[in-house]
C-alpha cells in the first residue's frame, strides 16, 4: 500500500515530517530519478534520494522505534549544525544505520535537562504537535524575592505576547537566601514559555532544568552530556501518548549479553561526558542540579 513520501521518510528517521515536507518543497528529494512533489505517495520498492544520496524507505514493519533520554547541558543548541561553531545536542549521540536521531521538541541554549530523541520521526512529529499536550516539569531557580501574589497569577494565567499562558502547578522546592528553587509544570511547548512566564512577573530565572516529560523522568544518575536508551515499556508509553501502535522489538538486550551491553552504554556515557568537559571547559555534575537545589 502506498504512503505519503514525507511520512515514510520521517518514520525512517531522516527527520521530522515537517522537515521532510520542507525538503520536498525545496526539490531536495527525488523518486526513481524524478524530483518529488508534496503529496507524492510511494511504494516500498522505489529508489529515493535526498540531495542525491540514496536513503532508506523501510516499511513500518521494518523500522524499530528507539528513544534516547539525553541530559542536555547549558551551552548546547538544538540544531544539527551551527554556523558559529557552537556545540549541538547531536554531537555526542550514538551513530545509527540508515537513519538519524530526531529531537522531540527543543530546549534553548541556556536550559539544561531532559531532552528526548527518537529514530522514528513520525513519533517525534506527533509528540510535538500542539494537540498532543504532554505535561513537562521544570526545576527553576529564581533570583530575588517572589511575592505570593505573583505565584498566584502564574497559576491563574497571565497574558504573554503570543496569548494567555499559565503553569498547571507551581511548588516551592527549597533554596537559600534570595536563590529559591521551584518546580513548575505545563503542557505547552511554546518558545521560552517557562522563562517568559516568570519574566512577566519581573522575576529573574537564574537556572532552568527540565526534569520530566510526561512520565519519563531525567535519570538521577545520568550526568550532563550523557544519554541512555529507554526500554521498550517507556518507548510504548510515548507511542501510546502519540496514538501509535505498540513497538514489539527493541535493540536493548534482555538475554545473557545484557550486562555487556550495559557496560558499553556506561562507557559511552563516560566518553560523552569527557568530551563535554573538553568542549565546554565546564565540569559535568554527577547528579542533576535540580536534586541538589544549590
Mean pLDDT in residue range 125-129: 89
| pTM for this predicted structure | 0.76
- pLDDT of 256 higher than 50: no
Bridge partners of 207?
141
How confident is the model at residue 60, as a pLDDT? Answer: 66
Q: CA 15, CA 200: separation in Å to the nearest integer? A: 35
Q: Do domains 3-55 and 67-130+216-292 have the same CATH topology?
A: no
Residues belonging to the active site: 108
CA distance 292 to 72: 17
Residue of 128, 141, 131 whose CA lies nearest to 172: 141
Hey, what CATH class is 3-55 in?
alpha beta
**pLDDT class of 132 with cuts at 50, 70, 90:** confident
Q: How far apart are CA 62 and CA 97, in angstroms?
A: 13
pLDDT tens digit sequence for 20-74:
999 999 999 999 999 999 999 998 788 999 999 988 777 667 778 999 999 999 9
* CA-wise closest residue to 101 among 71, 123, 132: 123
Cβ(194)–Cβ(236) below 8 Å: no
Give the β-pairing of 102-103 and 158-160. Answer: unpaired
The residues spanned by each domain of the chain are 3-55, 67-130+216-292, 136-213
The whole-number pLDDT of residue 199 equals 95
Region 67-130+216-292: CATH code:
3.30.2350.10
Residue 286 pLDDT exceeds 80: no
136-213 in CATH: which number?
3.30.2350.10
Task: Dump pLDDT digits (tens) for 176-209.
Answer: 888 999 999 999 878 899 999 999 999 999 999 9
Amino acid at each position: 500500500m502506498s504512503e505519503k513520501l514525507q511520512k515514510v521518510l520521517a518514520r525512517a528517521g531522516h527527520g521530522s515530517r515537517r522537515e521532510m515536507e520542507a525538503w520536498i518543497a525545496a526539490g531536495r528529494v527525488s523518486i526513481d530519478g524524478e524530483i518529488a512533489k508534496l503529496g507524492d505517495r510511494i511504494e516500498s520498492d522505489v529508489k529515493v534520494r535526498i540531495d542525491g544520496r540514496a536513503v532508506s524507505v523501510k516499511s513500518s514493519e521494518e523500522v524499530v522505534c528507539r528513544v534516547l533520554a539525553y541530559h542536555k547541558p547549558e551551552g548546547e543548541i538544538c540544531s544539527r549544525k551551527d554556523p558559529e561553531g557552537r556545540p549541538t545536542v547531536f554531537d555526542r549521540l550514538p551513530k545509527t544505520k540508515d537513519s538519524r536521531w530526531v529531537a522531540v521538541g527543543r530546549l534553548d541554549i541556556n536550559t539544561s535537562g531532559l531532552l528526548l530523541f527518537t529514530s522514528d520521526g513520525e513519533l517525534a512529529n506527533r509528540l510535538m504537535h500542539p494537540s498532543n499536550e504532554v505535561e513537562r516539569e521544570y526545576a527553576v531557580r529564581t533570583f530575588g524575592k517572589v511575592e505570593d501574589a505573583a505565584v498566584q497569577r502564574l497559576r491563574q494565567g497571565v497574558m504573554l505576547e503570543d496569548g494567555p499562558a499559565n503553569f498547571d502547578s507551581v511548588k516551592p522546592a527549597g533554596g537559600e537566601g534570595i536563590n529559591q528553587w521551584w518546580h513548575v509544570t505545563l503542557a505547552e511547548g511554546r518558545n521560552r514559555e517557562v522563562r517568559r512566564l516568570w519574566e512577566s512577573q519581573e522575576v529573574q530565572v537564574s537556572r532552568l532544568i527540565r526534569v520530566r516529560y510526561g512520565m519519563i523522568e531525567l535519570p538521577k544518575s545520568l550526568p550532563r552530556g550523557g544519554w541512555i536508551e529507554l526500554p521498550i515499556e517507556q518507548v510504548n508509553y510515548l507511542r501510546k501518548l502519540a496514538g501509535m501502535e505498540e513497538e514489539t522489538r527493541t535493540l536493548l538486550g534482555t538475554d545473557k549479553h545484557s550486562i555487556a551491553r550495559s557496560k558499553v552504554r556506561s562507557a559511552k556515557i563516560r566518553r560523552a561526558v569527557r568530551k563535554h568537559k573538553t568542549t565546554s571547559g565546564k565540569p559535568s555534575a554527577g547528579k542533576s542540579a535540580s536534586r541538589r537545589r544549590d
